[in-house]
Amino acid sequence: MAVGICQGRPGSRARRRAVPLAAVGSRDPYATPAPDPVPDPASATPSGAVLSTTSQESSESKPSLGAALSAKLGTETGLAVRYLATSGLNVVNHQVLLQMAIRWWGWSGGAANVFAAMVAVIPAYLLSRYWVWQVQGRPSLRDEVIPFWIIAAIGLIASTTMAELADRIFGSAVMISVGSLIGYLLVWVAKFFVLNLLFKRSADRHTEVPAG
């Protein structure tokens, strides 16, 4: 098929020359244009879904306040449970040694209580450091051992005073144990907070990475 194209010069008659259609272009001007491709619904991703996915990934990357609070409470609860278990074991050790000194050796309530406290404080310190607060590394004499013994001495004074008082009033081994427990409980709650501060500082010191 050919298309007529007019050529001419100014002042001259235009001449019509047949030019092949291929020279004008390969597309047929009378052909029906092809329809635009229809997008595949399965591959199309709505913008709302993209925003939803992005927000979901952002929320998953950041822990929620509830999860952080639950982890914190779980840590504190575990610490309190271990402290209660250790305290219960220390009381059992103390009372066994106290009754042994009173019944077997015939000591007074005050003397027997001092003996029991001096012996029971050793496993009390080891359990508190390595199990309750889970502190690793070498113990510090100034930052751990001496303060722990000072706290134990305060509890010893309170429990010994109550044990000696019960001995003078009742003269019974059972009442001596009751008096010793009352004196121990007077400082037991305060002892937890002091030891918590003491061993946490020690744990932070051992976990510090030296500079350089």
The pLDDT of residue 162 is above 50: yes
pLDDT in tens, 13-25: 444 454 454 444 4
pLDDT in tens, 197-209: 888 887 777 665 4
> Is residue 4 classed as helix, strand or coil in its secondary structure?
strand
Spatial distance between the Cα atoms of 68 and 63, rounded to a whole number of angstroms:
7
pLDDT of residue 51: 43
pLDDT in tens, 61-114: 555 655 555 555 457 788 889 999 999 999 999 999 999 999 999 998 889 999
pLDDT in tens, 34-59: 555 555 555 555 554 444 554 555 44
Residue 99 φ/ψ region, left for φ over 0, alpha for ψ in the -120 to 50 degree band, beta for the rest: alpha
Bigger pLDDT: 154 vs 26: 154
pLDDT of residue 2: 47
Spatial distance between the Cα atoms of 133 and 80, rounded to a whole number of angstroms:
10
pLDDT of residue 201: 82
Angle value at C-alpha 136, between 134 and 139, nearest 5 degrees: 110
The pLDDT of residue 171 is above 80: yes
Spatial distance between the Cα atoms of 122 and 148, rounded to a whole number of angstroms:
10
Please report, for the chain, the start and end positions of each structural domain, with discontinuous segments joined by +.
Answer: 66-203
Q: What mean pLDDT value characterizes the chain?
A: 75
pLDDT > 70: what percent of the chain? Answer: 62
Most confident of 58-62, 162-166, 186-190: 162-166
